[in-house]
Structure 1
């Protein structure tokens, strides 16, 4: 049992019970609310239509209080429908919001030396769809206030609660705000709820009840905005970046005020599907140690699905079904026909089959199966010889390709009974990349007795099949793997390489920070040393390289001598985020005669926020030598539909589609590092007596094709927890 999850559940249960008890007790009278010009005349609660439970919770909180005249505070409450990030049309490009901001904007609100050292102030960041939806929601509220009849309005998000003594604190703060702003006719913006940005908020004109913020407040979960303040915010648009960040730049012109202590807090038991664009940068700078590796809460369970497409150049429908959480297998049409018995067995592993070459009997059996659903792109029924009149309408959907990508989720998700994702409908991978093809050799390939091997726990997700009893197969014979393609990068690592610069970032689950000084160069190559850190949040200092460019397949090789010592991992791998995909070679210093290989796959086009998985699909490979004693040549050959790992030119492991994951299909960067996992189950406990310890790298080469697009910089591998459930 995961004790941290159990503790979190218990904590949330206690919190909910406490709030339920508090909500039956009167909260008192708030004289700040009323019908006079110097009182707050209305409350707007920003609430998603699909979150009625949150609306009810807010009403229970507000029901405890009364206004100056004794009327219930709920008598002036109105629900304001929030913009839903799942509605692509609602968050489409608009003049109101500019989603592109800079790391410097984050540093303005919350200065942090570690973030400033890792990234230029001009480092670009793009808002997530959820952040855009939040910004649009508040903008629409401001428009409503600017046009409305009330001089002052309290704006609340739907995940708040009132702390003890809130009535007195709000009244005291409101009177102090009126006194300070008597010439202006009252405050333009008053924070009742906020989070001090890491304790760095600059406060001016402080008194017992409130202060004037210069910068440094997060959240817009509870604030009083005047009609004049709303007009000023609308004139200052577009909102650039997350709205609670952007509004810090408006504090001076609004003469913003904030209660000395927040009277309204955010609930921590509500859960959230929000996604924060700056979080990966904070993780890479070592400021937060929380990754995005959680698994989907539940495997999607839908009726078995058969789909036929127009056989275009891209697997858009298959990618969309995979993003919805279905296990999808795609066929190209040249496979042997599938009979009725095989069709039934295929649905034991997969939820959806796309373009399956069904025999006549299999097709008849499918049409007769009341549990099967059918999805078609235009003209596909005619191509496969299906008369739509033979299938009951509730079991059939014909998708239009004429609508925009924003609109394409709705008919598919409605038909399947699934929620629409916040991500854009995908174009899909090129068919030539063979994503979602099942190329496993277990049926055709017969070998001798299964070799002794180590199989670790793997992720349970829609994008990982339960491993076959014969997995992983041992390569036949002592087969050598020859290079192919032209060499596009070579660095002997005797000096700093412009193609593979060192980086100063880190990642969740790593006990070490990375620094340039930990890397030394000699004629024999580069050495990365890990040692005990003299200061800092993490106990060790080490180093890493990362390629400047991303690569679309190719062969990646390096001469490596792994660092010796328990708790240390020498890594050589390909990685990308959004969606997260990864191909690993990892050498544990406490288990030097084995190599860990791993693959992570998440579906989606470039930019899709799909980053599930915390174990991946790891397995150990016996090397037959001690990897910490000498340099050996390790290679990853990543091609459409296949990955081959080799050591000293000999194949030691290979994978194809759905073995047990689809093969990553998007450009990735090449990385090399020496790190210390937080989890002792991966590499053991760090033995400080062995430190400093050194890993050596030389003759790093890339063969094949290259994608010159500059993508997000260094992101190291997620922690591979081999045993944690």
Structure 2
């Protein structure tokens, strides 16, 4: 799960003043870099991405605060080492250098999780490294090779987001004297940790001196360490790295002479932000080892606005539209003309538009000159081969991308002066169809009473506007969009098979219960029950069950007939969901008020594998049902098409969403789920009373008529 944390303390007036004071009054002298010493740190390699120029400047400033005995800043011996960029990383990693998957057991060796001590059946679960983790590992391996081939005995390796503690020189001076004394048995060390974070319950270690210890495991981060030439050669002999490089290093401690300063003396500078993605986190959350709420917020940098994409080649435009969404633009695409209210704002005095990027809208192409006058700093991207003199005259405010082969993050992000996300550029297989907006209805559909709940904040959610109701297109016939249908029925649960459905054995952070197979019961020939009860498990004090379709579906009609559990704290869910990117369409019935139903949508942009999993609330709406759902069985339907989502109860349309009301429609294949869970949030579902347990949600049937994703169509007969 990708998190962005932007703490701009050092950019504030107080932060700048504090940095100025450090620079003037707190320069540190460090003997470890002293040229008169026979054994010293002779060089610094700082790993820095080409596109992270601000980090490099900040690092040079930081290095200037440490000097040797001659008052020469150690920045003088610093050499920039170009980092491997996760955005540009080759799909085929050199297997002799890096094995991109590892196991949960490898993770637990470094960071034991008490909740998983007895979950032996899960410890061999395979975890796939994130692209960011691969890039970091390959960058360090390349540095090791450089050190091994050089002549320097000891080299300091830094990542570009470091911050030297005020006690850096004092502690390193003492440690270095103990390491390099003529009679010291520690003299020929391989690696010295200067920057680290210990495992939660502290790293197991051997205390060597007052200033040094030898770690046995439990050491995270490789932001700053001293590596000997001998140590570099040993590390290269131990390749391939398996999993994240800091995790793998722990598994090599028995084969190396590794020490660490008594405390970490190099920290990570939070003000620079981080776009790393930790591959073990989703697994630990799913198994219940971690219980904190991980919903992260997408924080885009300041972007030039508006952006207009015009021209030919719908495939290129479709890919650019997706790319702009991933950068944080609220992008209008797939329409012939703008809605009247949006056009009036765009060309009028009130420029508070819903969108800040517009792709493939023909009516805008004939008004380019007007747009350039209204928005002199706007950016234009032209696709196709046809020349447009007006756009050519825009100079640096125009970018020309003739074919899909010309489209990549480097060109677009250089043009927009922004950083690319750490995901592949989205090359779409299908062109996004340009549709006709439906005329406004004089008598709009009347729905049951509803209440909008607190929702996430992101570029892909339109805040409530009185005059905005989304993009409503003509033709909402679901069958029109599904080329092939695949039907799953579960009205006879005694025929429940693993071929069609999977019983899950996991959880999620907001869920206080662990899903177990035994909590799914086939009570009658035509019914199945999910039972939530008080029962200790390896990760939770309550257990329940969840079923998931083995197949994923792209659009369709999803129906269940069920009777939800009654009781505060309980939630019965029927929903569609996927990750990377996270998209979701929900029906949830809260046990503390079974007269109501929650309809919800999570949307993140991208294509398969895009690491966009933001949000922890979605965009929920509470709908009055007009009856008590827990008294009897009722039919609940999600109808999902490319242009609308509809929710039905007992055949009655109770709610509908169209594009950008308030999110785009999820556009990637999702699996279908039914579950019963204990909600951590008392605000959302109320406090659970153990006296109401066991609680049961009973399912009579499930029927899915779902579109088949492109990659599965060839397997259908």
State the TM-score, normalized to the length of structure 1: 0.82
Going from structure 1 to structure 2, the CA distance change for 1:602 and 1:676 (only over 3 Å counts) comes to: same
List aligned pairs for 1:649-668, cutoff 5 A. 649-668=651-670
List aligned pairs for 1:172-571, cutoff 5 A. 172-178=174-180, 186-199=188-201, 201-203=203-205, 208-268=210-270, 270-288=272-290, 289-297=292-300, 300=303, 302-312=305-315, 315-331=318-334, 344=347, 348-358=353-363, 362=367, 365-366=370-371, 371=376, 372-379=378-385, 381=386, 386-388=388-390, 391-401=393-403, 403=405, 408-428=408-428, 430-431=430-431, 443-444=440-441, 446-447=443-444, 452-467=449-464, 469=466, 485-490=485-490, 492-494=492-494, 497-498=497-498, 499-523=500-524, 525-532=527-534, 534=536, 540-571=542-573
Gap regions ≥5 residues in structure 2 = 713-717
Residue 347 of structure 1 and its aligned partner are, at CA, apart by 8.5
Residue 595 of structure 1 and its aligned partner are, at CA, apart by 0.8
Residue 496 of structure 1 and its aligned partner are, at CA, apart by 5.9
Distance in 2, Cα, partners of 1:532 & 1:20:
58
Task: Tell me which residue corresponds to 1:682.
Answer: 684
Structure 2 contact 28–67 (Cα < 8 Å) conserved: yes
Distance in 2, Cα, partners of 1:15 & 1:199:
33
Task: Tell me which residue corresponds to 1:715.
Answer: none
Structure 2 contact 179–186 (Cα < 8 Å) conserved: no
Task: Tell me which residue corresponds to 1:34.
Answer: 34
Residues 146-155 or 34-43, more deviating:
34-43
Residues 296-305 or 643-652, more deviating:
296-305
Residues 304-313 or 326-335, more deviating:
326-335
Going from structure 1 to structure 2, the CA distance change for 1:144 and 1:318 (only over 3 Å counts) comes to: same
Partner deviation per Cα, 1:291-335 (whole Å, 9 max, x = no partner): 243133567451241423412498212111221222222246699
Match of 1:501, SS state, is strand
Task: Tell me which residue corresponds to 2:647.
Answer: 645
Residue 66 of structure 1 and its aligned partner are, at CA, apart by 5.1
Partner deviation per Cα, 1:606-636 (whole Å, 9 max, x = no partner): 0111122333222222212111222222121
Residue 426 of structure 1 and its aligned partner are, at CA, apart by 0.5
Partner deviation per Cα, 1:36-70 (whole Å, 9 max, x = no partner): 44332233333445556655665666556554x55
Going from structure 1 to structure 2, the CA distance change for 1:56 and 1:296 (only over 3 Å counts) comes to: closer
Distance in 1, Cα, partners of 2:606 & 2:478:
31
Going from structure 1 to structure 2, the CA distance change for 1:19 and 1:684 (only over 3 Å counts) comes to: farther
Match of 1:610, SS state, is coil
What is the Cα-based RMSD across aligned positions, in Å? 4.3
Partner deviation per Cα, 1:382-425 (whole Å, 9 max, x = no partner): 6xxx44577433342211436466xx222222333333232211
Residue 8 of structure 1 and its aligned partner are, at CA, apart by 11
Residues 386-395 or 331-340, more deviating:
331-340
Distance in 2, Cα, partners of 1:360 & 1:503:
51
Distance in 1, Cα, partners of 2:442 & 2:257:
74
Task: Tell me which residue corresponds to 1:713.
Answer: none
Going from structure 1 to structure 2, the CA distance change for 1:595 and 1:211 (only over 3 Å counts) comes to: same
State the TM-score, normalized to the length of structure 2: 0.83
Going from structure 1 to structure 2, the CA distance change for 1:76 and 1:369 (only over 3 Å counts) comes to: closer
Residue 340 of structure 1 and its aligned partner are, at CA, apart by 7.7
Task: Tell me which residue corresponds to 2:715.
Answer: none
Asked if residue 101 in structure 1 is aligned to residue 95 in structure 2, the reply is no
Structure 2 contact 489–701 (Cα < 8 Å) conserved: no
Residue 581 of structure 1 and its aligned partner are, at CA, apart by 0.5
Residue 152 of structure 1 and its aligned partner are, at CA, apart by 0.8
Going from structure 1 to structure 2, the CA distance change for 1:688 and 1:630 (only over 3 Å counts) comes to: same
Residue 6 of structure 1 and its aligned partner are, at CA, apart by 13
Match of 2:628, SS state, is coil
Aligned residues: 691
Match of 1:348, SS state, is coil
